[in-house]
């Protein structure tokens, strides 16, 4: 929603808004753009008689301001619908979709296009490392958007990405998630099917060929050009081959012809795949592929995507957004491939709605077994007890803690120089990052 506010302001609209809690850095960014924000959902928001209310999907019936908007018959819409009607008609759209990697891939694509003179607009669901803002209108024809499958608003339960009408889609992967709104993988596939139905016949679907599950989606119907990419031996138009275990150097091939060698700061096979999808998309848009690859030497990962928080310490502390077993697995594999003589310690907060329900707890135990030891936070709002994971294969590595101070003490008691520690949550982990940073430095 803050990103949409930034775009609206840049497009010439007068914008104000409110949220339950308003705090830096986003509050500072909005103030710097002359966007007035108030804390709380008070009826006084109606006093200025806004021409339109844009309502985020976190709000629902019963919210005091929502009820006043409905009672007064005020005009309202959702963020994705506003974007579709006010901005997208002026642009061509590159949409990045999938269960994992959308923020990173969107950031890479926007960065490549920006570095190569395309001047794209973008809307990214995280904080990009190379830009001062998470969203901008852009002066060029192209708009890069993180295409989220989550529902749009309390009055529109379609996936957000159905509003975006993309010309190019990067389809990175597809797994079951968002158990609060989807009952099965089939429900999610149906939304992705609708997304592909909206891509024109001269549009392009870039498909990660390493995820065989995407074949079932494509079999539902696709009327656009399909361009596969792969980081394995699967036949594909675009391929990447790692030159070292941590994937910080890799070669890029297009139709079996060597394009360039990428040497960049990000680690992990999943990030190599993210980059390959973005490189392929930029080539379709008109960027010379060797230039796209060369630009990645300056790319900085979005915040909280395997972010090293204490580069000077002998104990490496990382902060990561992983909140699905597949993402946990990829994060831990990436850190496992770092040269180190120490232990790999994983700390997980099961905070997403799917994690709270315990939908993936079997796969979660398997993913955490990659670490030498793992700590799970037992939140009060869980529908299951993480203690279950200690009783499955590899569970002897897992410790359950009830509080943040308990986690800090447990980590500091076991951590030694050379160790790698990673915190994984889709929230702020109640300040664990800063608490560990102070104790471990």
Token duo for residue 167: 């010309």
Domain that holds residue 410: 307-440
Token duo for residue 414: 């076991």
Could you tell me if 147 and 265 lie in one domain? yes
pLDDT tens across 383-412, in order? 889 888 888 766 668 899 999 999 999 999
Could you tell me if 87 and 167 lie in one domain? yes
Q: CA–CA separation, 437 vs 319, rounded Å? A: 11
Could you tell me if 167 and 239 lie in one domain? yes
Could you tell me if 212 and 237 lie in one domain? yes
344: CB partners within 8 A, 6+ apart: 332, 335, 336, 370, 371, 372, 419, 420, 422
| pLDDT < 50: residue spans in the chain | none
CATH number of the domain that 220 lies in? Answer: 3.40.1190.10
At 393 the pLDDT is 65
Token duo for residue 147: 């295409």
Could you tell me if 110 and 188 lie in one domain? yes
Q: CA–CA separation, 244 vs 397, rounded Å? A: 28
At 115 the pLDDT is 97
Could you tell me if 255 and 292 lie in one domain? yes
pLDDT tens across 406-437, in order? 999 999 999 999 999 999 998 888 889 888 88
- How would you list the strands of the sheet with 257-263, edge to edge? 135-136, 121-123, 142-146, 92-97, 168-171, 204-208, 225-230, 238-242, 249-254, 257-263
Chosen domain end from 56, 74, 92: 74
Chosen domain end from 74, 108, 126: 74
Mean pLDDT, the chain, rounded, equals: 91
* Geometric angle at alpha carbon 62, from 60 and 67, rounded to 5°: 95
Could you tell me if 266 and 377 lie in one domain? no
Q: CA–CA separation, 30 vs 37, rounded Å? A: 8
Angle between helices 325-336 and 269-285 (to 10 degrees): 110
Could you tell me if 256 and 313 lie in one domain? no
Could you tell me if 120 and 266 lie in one domain? yes
Could you tell me if 27 and 142 lie in one domain? no
Could you tell me if 103 and 24 lie in one domain? no
Chosen domain end from 17, 45, 74: 74
Residues 218/199, Cβ–Cβ less than 8 Å: no
Residues 165/145, Cβ–Cβ less than 8 Å: no
Tell me whether the omega of the peptide bond preceding residue 325 falls within 30 degrees of 0, making it cis: no
Could you tell me if 121 and 234 lie in one domain? yes
The domain total for the chain is 3
Q: CA–CA separation, 150 vs 192, rounded Å? A: 11
At 179 the pLDDT is 62
CATH number of the domain that 337 lies in? Answer: 3.90.190.20
CA atoms within 13 A on the CB side of 246: 13
């Amino acid at each position: 929603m803050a990103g949409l506010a930034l775009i609206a302001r840049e497009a010439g609209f007068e914008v104000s808004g409110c949220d339950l809690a308003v705090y830096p850095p986003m509050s500072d960014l909005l103030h710097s753009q002359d966007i007035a924000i108030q804390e709380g959902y008070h009826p006084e928001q109606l006093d200025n008689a806004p021409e339109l209310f844009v309502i985020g999907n976190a709000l629902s019936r019963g919210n005091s301001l929502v009820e006043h908007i409905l009672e007064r018959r005020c005009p309202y819409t959702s963020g994705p619908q506003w974007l579709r009607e006010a901005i997208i008609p002026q642009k061509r759209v590159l949409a990045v979709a999938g269960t994992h990697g959308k923020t990173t891939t969107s950031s890479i694509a926007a960065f490549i296009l920006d570095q190569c003179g395309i001047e794209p607009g973008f809307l990214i669901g995280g904080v990009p490392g190379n830009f001062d803002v998470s969203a901008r209108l852009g002066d060029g024809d192209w708009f890069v958007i993180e295409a989220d499958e989550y529902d749009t608003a309390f009055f529109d339960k379609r996936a957000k990405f159905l509003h975006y009408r993309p010309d190019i889609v990067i389809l990175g992967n597809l797994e079951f998630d968002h158990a609060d709104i989807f009952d099965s993988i089939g429900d999610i596939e149906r939304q992705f099917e609708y997304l592909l139905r909206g891509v024109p016949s001269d549009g392009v679907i870039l498909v990660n060929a390493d995820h065989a599950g995407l074949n079932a989606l494509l079999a539902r119907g696709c009327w656009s050009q399909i361009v596969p990419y792969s980081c394995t031996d699967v036949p594909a138009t675009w391929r990447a081959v790692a030159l070292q275990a941590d994937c910080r150097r890799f070669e890029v091939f297009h139709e079996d012809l060597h394009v360039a060698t990428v040497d960049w700061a990000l680690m992990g096979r999943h990030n190599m795949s993210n980059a390959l999808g973005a490189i392929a998309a930029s080539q379709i848009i008109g960027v010379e592929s060797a230039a796209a690859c060369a630009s990645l030497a300056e790319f900085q990962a979005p915040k909280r995507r395997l972010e090293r928080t204490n580069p000077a310490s002998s104990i490496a502390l990382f902060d990561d957004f992983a909140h699905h077993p597949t993402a946990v697995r990829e994060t831990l594999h990436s850190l496992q491939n770092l040269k180190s003589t120490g232990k790999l310690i994983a700390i997980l907060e099961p905070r997403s709605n799917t994690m709270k329900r315990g939908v993936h707890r079997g796969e979660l135990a398997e993913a955490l077994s990659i670490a030498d030891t793992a700590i799970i936070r037992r939140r009060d709002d869980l529908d299951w007890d993480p203690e279950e994971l200690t009783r499955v294969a590899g569970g002897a590595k897992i410790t359950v803690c009830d509080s943040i101070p308990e986690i800090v003490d447990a980590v500091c008691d076991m951590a030694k120089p050379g160790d790698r520690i990673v915190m994984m949550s889709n929230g702020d982990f109640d300040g664990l990052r800063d608490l560990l940073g102070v104790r471990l430095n």
